Amino acid sequence: MSLLNKFTTALMALSTLSLGAADSSWSAKMQDLSHVLPELLVDVSKENALQDRSTLARVKKNTAKLTELSHRIAKSQKTKKGGPIDADPSIGMLSVIFEDEAKHAQTALNQGHLEYARSILLSISSYCISCHTRTDFGPKFPVLKLDAKTDSLTIGERADLFSATRQFDRALAEYEKIILDPKVMQENPFEWDRAVKKMLAICVRVNKDPARAIEVLKKLPKNTTTVGFLDARLKDWISSLEAWKKNPKGPMHSKTPLGKAKALMSAARGLQIYPADESGAVYYLRASAELHEVLRQKLPPRTLAEAFMLTGMAYEAIDELKLWSLPEVYYQSCIRTYPHSSQAERCYERFEENVYAGYTGSSGTHLPVDVRKKLQELREEAKKKAK
């Protein structure tokens, strides 16, 4: 799946908070984005929609607005002016990728690559969802008025839009429809799996409500899907949620968020049979929420670099939104925060492994020149200096 398959609402995360001029400015950007996004998603949701002149004109207009807004959002993060009160550097990282993707979409439209542009815009909500489901920080909106045209979206698209605009109760209701639909379970188990993971992200990281997730998953009959490993994974998720419900503080013996995150990741690894096994997803989701709390703190470089590395590892393990670039962003931040150290070298190893995996296919590994150059630069920055 392309990195372009992502992005949509770094948007209303803090739009009702007005704790000063900077936050009011951020709120205004999020409000503007919320007006552009629904119409854009509706217009690109249908195949061949961009063959219609009026639709294409409207999409170009809204994509131009989106690009301009994404630039303002990214700029506010770089300059630290007009940004949100949330100190988590993840917002800045996501805003840069968000801006790049908006530019890609606009360029593709202007060059006549309509289906390519549509594929970018169609999945534009993922970056916003990722930003908004990091933790429970920020307001929730029970019901925001959306254009009636959104009724034409699929259940999954509508669920993503609700999640992207922080309407989490409505998003959960839509994801539950997918999760409990026997036809989706049997005919499209990976779409079903995606909905389950997004439901878990909201219940675990935003609502911190294991009971709701258990309630949904226990409605499923045994041997739910036609894919055996999904059924096995489901059992581990339910048992992890039940353990959390029974002991909200376990297995965390440390009083610090970083220590708690390490304990949770250790518990997750205990459930994994092989590196890509997602049986520990609930623990990794909980760990990532703790790590985002860590990243909001003022930390010495060594501790911050460790937090970046652990966050990258957590996203490698869960990645419920398939934001394949996200772990790399955290590893890169680790290297640049505490260069020429053992910590940086470990982060480089994981960064390099992710990059090679992303550029390896049936015909072998093909790294573009600019990617090879970046690897060389980061390798030198990570390498410990000779004494």
Q: Among 133, 153, 170, identify where a domain stops.
A: 133
On the CB side of 4, CA atoms within 13 Å amount to: 16
User: Using CA atoms, how far apart are residues 220 and 181, in angstroms rounded to an integer?
Assistant: 9
CATH number at residue 359: 1.25.40
Residue 348's domain comprises 249-387
DSSP state of 205: I
Distance of CA 266 to the CA centre of its chain: 22
Q: Among 84, 118, 133, identify where a domain stops.
A: 133
Q: What is the pTM of this model?
A: 0.77
Domains contained in the chain, number: 2
- Does residue 78 register a pLDDT over 70? no
Spatial CA neighbour of 306 closest among 278, 341, 263: 341
Q: Is residue 240 part of a domain?
A: no
Could you tell me what percent of the chain has a pLDDT over 70?
76
**Residue 270 pLDDT class (50, 70, 90 cuts):** very high
Q: Which of 61-70, 135-144, 285-294 has the lowest mean pLDDT?
A: 135-144
Q: Is residue 92 part of a domain?
A: yes
Q: What separation in angstroms does the CA of 65 have from each of 29, 363, 371? A: 11, 39, 30
Q: Is residue 140 part of a domain?
A: no
Q: What separation in angstroms does the CA of 188 have from each of 154, 184, 363? A: 14, 5, 28
What pLDDT digit, counting tens, does each position of 191-233 carry?
888 899 999 999 999 899 999 999 999 998 776 665 667 778 8
Helix axes 90-110, 326-337, angle to 10 degrees: 130
Q: Among 70, 98, 133, identify where a domain stops.
A: 133
Helix axes 301-317, 257-271, angle to 10 degrees: 30
